[in-house]
Amino acid sequence: MRFITADLVCPISSAPLTGGVVVVHPDGRIADVLPSDSAHLPDATATERHSGIICPAFVNAHCHLELSHMKGLLPEGTGLDDFIGGIVAQRDAAHEAISAAMAHADAAMWQAGIQAVGDICNTSDSIAVKRSSRIRYHSFIELMGISPERALSVFGRGTGLRDEYAEAGLAATIVPHAPYSVSQPLFGLIASAGGAVSMHSQETASEDLMFVSGTGALLERLRSLGIPMEGFTPSGQSSLRTVLPLLADSPRIILVHNSFTAQEEMHWANGQHRGLFWCACPTANRYIEKRIPKVDDWLRNGAQVCIGTDSLASNHRLSILDEMKLLACHCPSIPFEDLLRMATINGAMALGMEKGTGTLERSKMPGVLLLGNIDAERPAMTDRITVTRLV
């Protein structure tokens, strides 16, 4: 049994403990979290002492592991329509290069304190690395198909891929890529599959333009990629108002990006679905659209917020701590405790993994992190903070 202490222990599920002690089984399971004056503590020499704050490991709610080989390939600040064109044109590579990049990214995420990941998949490429990873993954099998006649065949391919993940012992559900890339019949089939959903939403202003008036750069880009858009009819409403009702029966929905979601629309959406999570990927938003959402406004709206890194095609590192630093810089009014919740338990709940991860609680295996270079008496997120995995 390990006894680990620091200046402050933040279990997340309960109030922070000054000088608290985390007791950990050899297999990583939490045996107990004790106050500094507990009668159950061993003598001081048997306790590992650290300077800083102890917290549960992070949850990355949105990643695309299979795009890891695209690091640095796409220019920054070009906008989503050009970015999508770049992904389509450049994602092909040798199988060995894709596998090596994924293995490297998986190891780097573990090292950066990430315990669980919600990962978007278009292929079976990531199965091997996930099977041998210490990270717990939920794989979201992402479908695209704007032509209604092709809905059944696209869905059939999706269920086949989901079954491949399931046969490998990996949790997987079928999800829509985005409101603009999935036909209504395909949305219906995805909803009928009944699993947790993750969907890119309102990442660019031209997404709503497409739905409201059938115009804009995104629609033009989809046409230029040779995607037949005749099956698409503008609804006269925003993309989110158009498609959220189609997912009403999904147990949980993670909406990713939301850079252009109006606050009244967020309020409306929270009233539509109780299992709604809003995922912020600030570095990717800065990379692609040069616009970081006002996540402090999301919190004032009562949103359940989690954090994602997106892929290495639109990020330089897969680090939840880096995302927290950028959010704190851009939205300084977000309290440190709220940032920690977004990075841990909120992501765990969004992925349906809250029974095992996201808090320091007895019998969970959440991973244990040390945040260093931090004022434990008045914790605040700064660029100086470091993360070390203890468990």
As a whole number of angstroms, the distance between CA 196 and CA 201 comes to 16
Stretch that binds Zn ion, among 208-216, 303-311, 319-327, 329-337 (CB under 5 A): 303-311
Minimum CB separation of residue 193 from Zn ion in Å reads 20
Nearest alpha carbon to residue 334 among 360, 288, 291, 303: 303
Nearest alpha carbon to residue 166 among 158, 176, 154: 158
The CB-nearest residue to Zn ion is: 310
Report whether 290 contacts 77 (CB < 8 A). yes
User: CA Rg, the chain, in Å?
Assistant: 21
Minimum CB separation of residue 64 from Zn ion in Å reads 6
As a whole number of angstroms, the distance between CA 122 and CA 222 comes to 18
Helices (H) and strands (E) in the chain, counts: 14, 17
Binding characters for Zn ion, 310-339, by CB under 5 A (x = yes): x-----------------------------
Residue (205 or 365) nearer to Zn ion, CB = 205
Beta-strand pair 8-9/2-5 = unpaired
Minimum CB separation of residue 89 from Zn ion in Å reads 17
Stretch that binds Zn ion, among 146-154, 247-255, 308-316, 375-383 (CB under 5 A): 308-316
What is the distance of C-alpha 368 from the center of its chain? 19
Residue (64 or 273) nearer to Zn ion, CB = 64
Minimum CB separation of residue 52 from Zn ion in Å reads 32
Residue (81 or 310) nearer to Zn ion, CB = 310
Sign of the torsion formed by the C-alpha atoms of 166, 171, 175 and 177: negative
Alpha helices in 335-380 (DSSP H): 336-343, 345-350
Query: Which residues make beta-bridge pairs with 142?
Result: 175
Total site size for Zn ion, rule CB under 5 A? 1
Minimum CB separation of residue 61 from Zn ion in Å reads 11
Residues 17-46 that bind Zn ion (CB under 5 A): none
Minimum CB separation of residue 141 from Zn ion in Å reads 14
Stretch that binds Zn ion, among 27-35, 179-187, 244-252, 305-313 (CB under 5 A): 305-313
CA distances from 242 to 103, 105, 290 (A): 38, 35, 26
45-84: b or e for each residue (b if 16 or more CB lie within 10 Å)?
Answer: eeeeeeebbbbbbbbbbbbbbbbbbbbeebeeeebbbebb
Residue (52 or 308) nearer to Zn ion, CB = 308
Residue (7 or 310) nearer to Zn ion, CB = 310
Residue (66 or 310) nearer to Zn ion, CB = 310
Residues 57-96 that bind Zn ion (CB under 5 A): none
Residue (304 or 315) nearer to Zn ion, CB = 315
Stretch that binds Zn ion, among 1-9, 79-87, 167-175, 307-315 (CB under 5 A): 307-315
Interacting residues with Zn ion (CB under 5 A): 310
